[in-house]
A and B are shown apart, each in its own frame.
Chain A
Amino acid sequence: MEKHKNLENKGMSRRRFLSVMAGAGVVGAAATMTGCRPVSDPSGTGWLPNQYQNASAIPAQVKGRVPLDPSNVSLVRNDEKCILCGQCIEACEKVQSVFGYYELPVHDDFICVHCGQCSLWCPTGAISERSDVENVWKAIQDPQTTVIVQTAPATRVGIGEEFGMGAGAWAEGQMVTALRELGFDVVVDTNFSADLTIMEEGSELVERVTAGGVLPQMTSCCPGWVKFVEYYYPELIPNLSSARSPMMMHGSTLKTYNAEKLGIDYKNIVTVAIMPCVAKKFEASRSQFAGLEGGAGKYYNDDTVKDMDYVLSVRELADMIRGKLGDIDFAALPEGQYDQIGSTAGLIFGNTGGVMEAAVRSAYYLITKNAPPTSLYNLEPVRGLEGIKRASVNVPGVGDVKVVVASGLANARQLCEEIKAGKADFHFLEVMACPGGCISGGGQPKTAVPPQDWVREARTASMYSHDTAGVINGSAAGAGQKETAKGSLRLSHENPQIAEIYADFLEKPLSHLAHDLCHTHYEDRSGSLTRKEV
């Protein structure tokens, strides 16, 4: 105490201060030099999946991950979550035959058909869709704009799973209610534009069959499949139906026909699509659907307009619902009604074989002018999860129409090779990139990881049972069209609102205006890769 007082009174001399500091410095430097610092193992001690923990003489069978362009419009990857399990590359190569089917070196492209199966297989959620949620919120909050949302067929058997409902649970009405709660102004159904697609694509098929066009005709609803053909089979582009996908037909007709019906300036309309798919994000960004090349752009001679502004996956919609409505009891939401109607033929577009079945029903009518026989209401041979399904339908006046259905692009590849080799004896080929069709699309909830058949089967069954019932949602007039009687509607060509759009606007299938708004063209992308011969 005494000493301390002394020090306080006297203060520390300059000499003493400097020597204390110098001493501390020397001790510190010595400690550093002799290694008194946190020791870190210089070589890694972290973690790698088991398959890589082998002697280098035993290489892993499943290695790495898919290449993904950082600017991919459909998909993003968070490297922090990636564990290099190799599931994405398995899906891409084995299920879709995309990765590994081109020679290296690459040209100027990360080869990707945007199907998003990798995101479904990814066990850690490292791969997910590129989110458009912020943009959609902005559009909704803008009082100037009318936001029109469409929901794809398969969304209504997927969305419930995000909220604890069982696999394949039917949640159509709840989804419509939720969309209105979120602030979407008009809620329409892609089933409607699927009906429109049947009219256009079916008429095209009838024309090809009767007038001797390029056969087999291949469906063009699936943007993953379309890009696959553009990359790997450009010689088959003439086989692709020129019909746009339902989503893109809807985009262009909403901004033209329905805008006029509703009396809204097309510039104030924002179109949003809820899709079970992430390739639809890519499709919406294609140059064929924007500006003067696009439907609405050409119609108004306006190069700033896009047919489809934003595409959200079912998972993104669920995020929006949770974000705005919180932890709700989704199943208990009241069942809302669409502002436009679609037949249940349009509904089954979400299943593999569904487009074919819907098309056959209406093609039969378009050719014979008679109602299709009851067997066509339940075309069993094209239903189910089998990768390649073949069927033959007798149409009076034409004979046997042979149809083939494939899902999973590796299966589609076999059929492309068949066509290329001149061995294809069929007239119509339906392809959906994702195994099982859109019900198991890359934008659906990840109810089972990796995707499993029991989930696919539950969703498929849910769709077909509603087709069998045939009852459609609503007597919708919210999109400016006539109100319709509530009832059964299992044929696309019997949809009264389809009849209305042709009578008022499009004239007839394959008309000049229909060509601008409901058809498109494709680009040869084979220069982006060197195809590996298989």
Chain B
Amino acid sequence: MANAVVNQKSVLVDLTKCVGCGSCTVACKLWNNQSFQNPQTNEFENAHGVGVQLDSNTWTTVEHKQVNKDGQEVWRFVKRQCMHCLEPACSSVCFAHAFHQTEQGAVQYDPSVCVGCRYCMIACPFDIPKYEWEKVLPSVMKCQFCSSKLAEGEAPACASVCPTDALMFGNRDEMLAKAHEIIANDSRYLNHVYGEKEVGGTSWLYISDVDFGELGFPTNLPEKSIPDNVHGFTRFTIPIFAVGAAAWTGVSLYAKRRHAVAHEGHHAEDHKSEE
């Protein structure tokens, strides 16, 4: 896919600074005009708390997690949303071209061309796209990185409202440098910027003082991007289909011809017996 990103933006999430207020989840709902109803149950639900999950109405959540830190039970709050991969798997599998990257690196999804095949949901390594199961003509839904705000030089809604600066917005190279600076100056942090290398890098970066696996992040991801990873065999898709189609056309023509020949012979025999 042609990469149109010229000014890659990023949000650096400092998980040690999150106090679990859920402002970001409310900002997301306000800016994107989404209801607080769970689309399946129609029950009112906050987008932050213990065990919250993304759904087609909820593009970001803050999960309250009680984890063990140095032998003590502590609360940590984990914001989830689309990671906006630098090389998005969702985009690479979408034959309708419903995904494209904006100049600022937002992986934007256009529901007006989506056919609802859900390939992106299977492809996403972070389990982000959610389906509108409740609709007659369902689309997939996910965080758009407030692409229109980014285009105006504004931070995404969620990052703009954070009272503790747990969400820091800026250019990706700056945010990466900042992340490494914070880690270098404070021994409490793990020496890992989540999203720096995972699946080829993501726009959203996380730093933490608690193991990412314990906080629910997938930790077995390759450093190679998913489109790169599968290109080795997916590039044969069209040749295989072409060869297959040619082969079956051949078989079909052969079978038809054989049938016609057999039929003619049969007719000839019939004529003979009539005589």
Interface residues of A, Cβ cutoff 8 Å to B: 32-33, 35, 37-48, 52-57, 59-60, 63-68, 70, 79-80, 82-84, 86, 89, 99, 104-110
Contacts and interface: CB of A to CB of B under 8 A. Distances in A.
Summarize A's interface: helix, strand, loop or mixed.
loop
Contacts of B72: 107-108
Given A33-B96, A108-B73, A110-B20, A45 B162 contact: no
Nearest to A47: B30
A263 B54 CA distance: 57
A65 B30 contact: no
B75 A106 contact: yes
Contacts of B115: 32-33
Interface of B: 15-23, 25-27, 29-33, 36, 44, 46-50, 64, 66, 72-76, 96, 106, 108-113, 115, 137, 144, 146-149, 152-155, 157, 159-164, 169-170, 209
Contacts of B31: 44, 46-48
A108 B15 CA distance: 15
A441 to B, nearest CB: 23
Contacts of B159: 56
B148 A84 contact: no
B111 to A, nearest CB: 5
Contacts of B146: 43-44
A125 to B, nearest CB: 15
Contacts, number: 142
Contacts of A55: 152-154
Contacts of A80: 36, 44
Contact of A40 (B96, B111, B153): B111
A64 B163 contact: yes
Given A52-B27, A105-B17, A106-B74, 6 more contacts: A37-B137, A46-B33, A64-B21, A65-B21, A67-B21, A70-B50
A79 B47 CA distance: 9
B170 A70 contact: no
Contacts of A106: 19-20, 74-75
Contact of A43 (B19, B30, B108): B108
Nearest to B76: A105
A123 B111 CA distance: 36
A35 B144 CA distance: 20
Given A47-B30, A60-B160, A107 B16 contact: no
Contact of B27 (A66, A70, A84): A84
A45 B113 contact: no
Nearest to B9: A56
B33 A44 contact: yes
A66 B66 contact: no
A89 B19 CA distance: 12
A59 B74 CA distance: 30
Contacts of B22: 65, 67, 79
A68 B21 CA distance: 6
Which of B22, B148, B153 is the most central at the interface, judged by chain A CB atoms within 10 Å of its CB? B22
A389 to B, nearest CB: 32
B44 A42 contact: no
Contact of B170 (A33, A56, A86, A109): A56
A84 B209 CA distance: 28
A194 B209 CA distance: 48
B161 A63 contact: yes
A104 B19 contact: yes
Contacts of B152: 55
B23 A64 contact: yes
Contact of B161 (A41, A64, A107): A64
A47 B115 CA distance: 29
A43 B144 contact: yes
Contacts of A64: 21, 23, 161-164
Contacts of B50: 70
B154 to A, nearest CB: 6
B36 A79 contact: yes
14 contacts: A32-B115, A42-B144, A48-B160, A53-B154, A56-B160, A56-B169, A64-B23, A64-B164, A70-B50, A79-B46, A104-B164, A105-B17, A105-B209, A106-B75
Given A53-B154, A79-B47, A104-B164, A67 B19 contact: yes
Contacts of A66: 21
Contacts of B17: 104-105
